[in-house]
Amino acid sequence: KNEVEQSPQNLTAQEGEFITINCSYSVGISALHWLQQHPGGGIVSLFMLSSGKKKHGRLIATINIQEKHSSLHITASHPRDSAVYICAVRWGGSEKLVFGKGTKLTVNP
Amino acid sequence: GAVVSQHPSWVICKSGTSVKIECRSLDFQATTMFWYRQFPKQSLMLMATSNEGSKATYEQGVEKDKFLINHASLTLSTLTVTSAHPEDSSFYICSAFPIQGRNTEAFFGQGTRLTVV
């Protein structure tokens, strides 16, 4: 069964802290996506990874294909980073996404 | 960047009526669009894959006669919830990948919060 596990489920941090969210998957993938979902429900794509590391502003995403593991890091966290962060993967040539359950991040001022 | 527009963003309807949700790719073409449903505090679940010019592919457990999908052009897919019931109340969201290049980011609509009363 193709599964995506995220941890932690909930995360509370103080403004300025370094945040790490983890994602593990059960079988080899073609791509992994990190998504951000705000309270209203809208979803924004943050990264798509198939190997290595990507950085965008204060966000960094890494993936280890051998270990079937990815991490999303947020440096110098800010209250506006509060959202649900979702890991989603694609297998083979499919465009279907399978989602993790999400990590609810709350950053307090 | 690429934009997917979903409309309406929220709708309240009476039990037994039908509701249509539109998903448009504004600046790219997509032969395939995906419809997801999300219940409170749960993860997104794929309902169906909308294929331009052909029948949609439904996931196991999703009633194709209740959730009608039409993908009439390369930029528009619609989901119609027929004879809606309170248990259909949920957050529905579509996504699409541009035709060019399979290894691209996924683009999502804003989502539609459906409440059936």
Segment A22-74, tens digit of pLDDT:
999 988 888 999 999 988 888 999 999 999 999 999 999 999 999 999 999 99
Give the nearest partner residue to B102 out of A42, A95, A98, using CB atoms: A95
Give the closest-approach CA distance of A48 to chain B in angstroms. 6
Average pLDDT over residues A70-81: 97
At A22 the pLDDT is 98
Contact B3, B108 (CB under 8 A): no
What is the β-pairing status of strands A83-90 and A103-108?
antiparallel
Q: Which residues of A touch B (CB under 8 A)?
A: 30-31, 33, 35, 40-45, 47-48, 50, 86, 88, 93, 95-102
Question: Using one digit for the tens of pLDDT, what is the confidence trace for B22-80?
Answer: 999 998 888 889 999 999 888 899 999 998 888 899 999 999 999 999 998 889 999 99
> Rounded distance, CA A15 to CA A30, Å?
35
Are the beta carbons of A42 and B110 separated by less than 8 Å?
yes
